Amino acid sequence: MEASSPGGAGHCLAAFRAGQKAATYASTVLLCGVLLCGALLLGSCKESAAPPLKVLGAIPDFSLTTQENKPFTRESMLGKVSIANFIFTRCPTVCPVFSMKMQRIGERTPASIELLSFSVDPAYDTPERLTEYASHYQADPARWHFLTGDPKLVRDTVEGALKIAMPDQGASEGEVPDIVHGVHFVLFDGKGRIRGYYNSDDIERIDQLVRDATSLARQSAK
């Protein structure tokens, strides 16, 4: 048998060492990639993690009436996450858009979250008129409550407790009252506490409302 030449052995050794270096380099690159991905993922989680929602107040006892002419009180809210907005049926401008946004929020959130629309023209907005208005938005009366009642009680609840302005500046053309009311959504937890105000004209805030309401609903379900 012929002995292997020194040159052939040298080539084999060089190839072996080159292979080792290549394997070490590949392992290093892979490890760096894993660490980088982990760091990016951790950073993304930290950035996306929302701070805990503050308690901004609590709604006091009240007694209003739904579009089905049923009583609705603070007790009706307990145990359920709720989102509120403020409308009136004769409003030709802001309210239809505000109600469409509420309808969309309802489609994007769990069915356990209730929707509340307080009328800021309660003397005119009877349950019958609210029922007709609600029909334009396919509102499920079991989930979406349109609320009216004694004007003083409504004002005390909307302005006094929820800090949403509803000044009546009289009638404008066509005898429609010029009611300049707030356009923020209000988020309540299952204890009737206010957990956030969200500008309905800000798409990012509406997205945040959907996330916050869904998170509260999941916490309540535990």
DSSP letters along 91-140, please? -SSHHHHHHHHHHHHHHHS-TTSEEEEEES-TTT--HHHHHHHHHTTT--
Helix (H, G, I), strand (E, B), or coil: what is residue 80? Answer: coil
Q: Which tokens is 34 given?
A: 């894993």
Helix (H, G, I), strand (E, B), or coil: what is residue 84? Answer: strand
Q: Are residues 61 and 12 in the same domain?
A: no
Which one, of 159, 161, 147, lies nearest residue 56 by Cα? 161
Q: What is the rounded CA–CA span in Å between residue 178 and residue 166?
A: 10
Neighbouring CB atoms inside 10 A of 17's CB total 10
| Count of the separate structural domains present in the chain | 2
Average per-residue pLDDT in the chain?
83
DSSP-derived secondary structure for 161-198: IT-----EEEE-GGG-EEE----EEEEE-TTSEEEEEE
Q: Are residues 160 and 139 in the same domain?
A: yes
Q: Higher confidence at residue 67 or residue 175?
A: 67
Domain boundary among 10, 27, 49: 49
Domain boundary among 49, 69, 85: 49
Q: Are residues 68 and 37 in the same domain?
A: no
User: What's the pLDDT band for 176 if we cut at 50, 70, 90?
Assistant: confident
CATH code, 206: 3.40.30.10
Question: Which range marks the domain in which residue 209 is found?
Answer: 57-221
Q: Higher confidence at residue 118 or residue 27?
A: 118
Q: Are residues 25 and 117 in the same domain?
A: no
Q: What is the rounded CA–CA span in Å between residue 124 and residue 119?
A: 9
Q: Are residues 139 and 190 in the same domain?
A: yes
pLDDT for the residue numbered 178: 76
Query: To the nearest 5 percent, what fractions of the chain are helix, strand and coil?
Result: 45, 20, 35
User: What's the pLDDT band for 173 if we cut at 50, 70, 90?
Assistant: low
Q: Are residues 132 and 84 in the same domain?
A: yes
Q: Point out the least confidently predicted range of 2-6, 55-59, 114-118, 209-213.
A: 2-6
Which one, of 165, 163, 192, 173, lies nearest residue 61 by Cα? 192
Q: What is the rounded CA–CA span in Å between residue 20 and residue 16?
A: 6
pTM of the model: 0.76
Q: Are residues 101 and 194 in the same domain?
A: yes
pLDDT above 80: residue 109: yes
pLDDT for the residue numbered 19: 52
Determine contact, residues 214/83, Cβ cutoff 8 Å. no
Which one, of 115, 74, 80, 73, lies nearest residue 189 by Cα? 80
Q: Are residues 123 and 151 in the same domain?
A: yes
Q: What is the rounded CA–CA span in Å between residue 164 and residue 110?
A: 26
Q: Are residues 63 and 162 in the same domain?
A: yes
Q: What is the rounded CA–CA span in Å between residue 200 and residue 206?
A: 6
Which one, of 214, 170, 222, lies nearest residue 50 by Cα? 214
Q: Are residues 42 and 123 in the same domain?
A: no
Q: Are residues 19 and 123 in the same domain?
A: no
Q: Are residues 40 and 135 in the same domain?
A: no
